[in-house]
Amino acid sequence: MQLLAPVTVLLVTLTSTSLAYPTVQVYGNAPKLTLRQESAPDAPAEGTSSSNTPSNATGSSSGSAISNNTSNNACSSEILALAAGIQSNIDDQNNELTTVNALGMVLAQSPMDMTLYGATQTSLMGFVTKGISIREGNQKLAPPDNGAIPGLAKVAMAQMEELNLTMSLAMPPSGVVNISQANGTVETLKKDFAGGMVQNKANLEAATSGCRIPNR
């Protein structure tokens, strides 16, 4: 196994209102893993598995998913709230993808830092469960005839797979991680999270179809 540059982590005390999330920063040729603290939002959607990804999905991208609608009719407050919730889910999915990439870096270490592995998996679980809460909120916000409803249902189904896969990465009682199996799970999650971002961007377009978001 190839020896990567040392991966370091600053452990942050978790509270009931915050989570420690790892980020990857690159200094020269040496990848460095750190933790950043981010407040957990109040929830108002989440990923879809690779099997539900639209046929034109090819990976992920970060940043806001801006609607291309050109209608002169301004979106209602209900639609604006839904659009904000879907964008919040896209942001969370980007964090999921960043964190699962960091977990893959930890698995590539030789020897592997077990403490860092456990901390990174815990952070990933935090993002996954947060995404579920956001999606549940978005389903409640969506008006009965809104075009995003079918896509949000796809997101809900995919989240169950993502949750189960993330749970399977938890540190086993034996303290010994099956690295080959964990790497396979990490690769699956990378595809699922990337596909989920594509699905939620489509959901954002559907949610705001026929109206215009101010300042866009």
Top-confidence range, 9-18, 57-66, 184-193, 205-214: 184-193
Measured CA to CA, the distance from residue 22 to residue 94 in angstroms comes to 12
3-state helix, strand, coil in the chain (%, to 5): 50, 10, 40
User: CB 32: neighbour CB atoms within 10 A?
Assistant: 16
Mean pLDDT (the chain, rounded): 79
- Using alpha carbons, select from 58, 44, 45 the residue that is nearest to residue 198: 58
- pLDDT value at 144 more than 50: yes
pLDDT band for position 215 (cuts 50, 70, 90): confident
Measured CA to CA, the distance from residue 162 to residue 45 in angstroms comes to 13
pTM strictly above 0.75: no
For helices 179-207 and 77-107, give the axis angle rounded to 10 degrees: 160
Residue range 177-195: average pLDDT? 98
Token pair belonging to 142: 């969506």
